[in-house]
């Protein structure tokens, strides 16, 4: 392991006679690329298994407050973030979130950085209509 603390999620319930794993390792290899606009995320599982696992984790997940360069941020499981990311669980080191029926893991600082950048980009795109007005104001002859 790379010195980074990894958190494990409980695996889905198993039918009788099947071996139930103790935990689902969050460091599974990434079989699919990260979703568009979400760099550094690792796909843990998808489909019905991901939905069942996420719902089990959400039952006991608690909010966590983490420091960021712009102040403390409270991450509340169940919150919908940009790019349709549903927060499942968070710690100082990692967050687990879903997009559609896929469960991902990502470093908390990278997750927060993405959120700040996505929010700034969304704000800038909403203000794009002001650019011609600002240019007209700047190019207007100065009255003394």
Phi-psi region of 61 (alpha: psi -120 to 50; beta: other; left: phi over 0): beta
According to the model, what pLDDT value does residue 83 have? 82
Residue of higher predicted confidence among 2 and 39: 39
According to the model, what pLDDT value does residue 131 have? 78
Compute the average pLDDT of residues 77-98. Answer: 93
d(CA 26, CA 9): 7
Q: Which residue has the tokens 């100065």?
A: 142
Q: Where are the alpha helices (DSSP H) in the chain?
A: 48-60, 108-126, 131-139
pLDDT band at 125 (very low <50, low <70, confident <90, very high): confident
pLDDT band at 33 (very low <50, low <70, confident <90, very high): low
Strands 80-81 and 73-75 come out as unpaired
Name 10's Cβ contacts closer than 8 Å, sequence gap at least 6: 23, 24, 53, 56, 57
Name 96's Cβ contacts closer than 8 Å, sequence gap at least 6: 7, 9, 26, 44, 54, 57, 87, 88, 89, 90, 103, 104, 105
Compute the average pLDDT of residues 110-116. Answer: 87
Name the average pLDDT for the chain. Answer: 77
According to the model, what pLDDT value does residue 18 have? 37
Compute CA distances 26 → 45, 93, 96, 136, whole Å: 10, 12, 9, 53
Sign of CA dihedral 118, 120, 126, 131: negative
């Amino acid at each position: 392991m790379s010195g980074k603390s990894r958190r494990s999620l409980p695996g889905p319930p198993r039918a009788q006679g099947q071996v139930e794993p103790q935990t689902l390792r969050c460091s599974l290899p990434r079989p699919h690329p990260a979703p568009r606009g979400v760099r550094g995320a690792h796909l843990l599982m998808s489909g019905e298994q991901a939905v069942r696992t996420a719902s089990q984790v959400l039952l006991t997940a608690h909010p966590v407050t983490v420091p960021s360069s712009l102040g403390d941020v409270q991450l509340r499981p169940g919150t919908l973030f940009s790019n349709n990311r549903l927060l499942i669980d968070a710690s100082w080191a990692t967050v687990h979130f879903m997009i559609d029926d896929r469960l991902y893991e990502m470093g908390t600082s990278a997750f927060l950085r993405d959120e700040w950048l996505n929010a700034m980009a969304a704000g800038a795109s909403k203000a794009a209509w002001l650019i011609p007005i600002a240019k007209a104001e700047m190019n207007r002859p100065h009255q003394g």
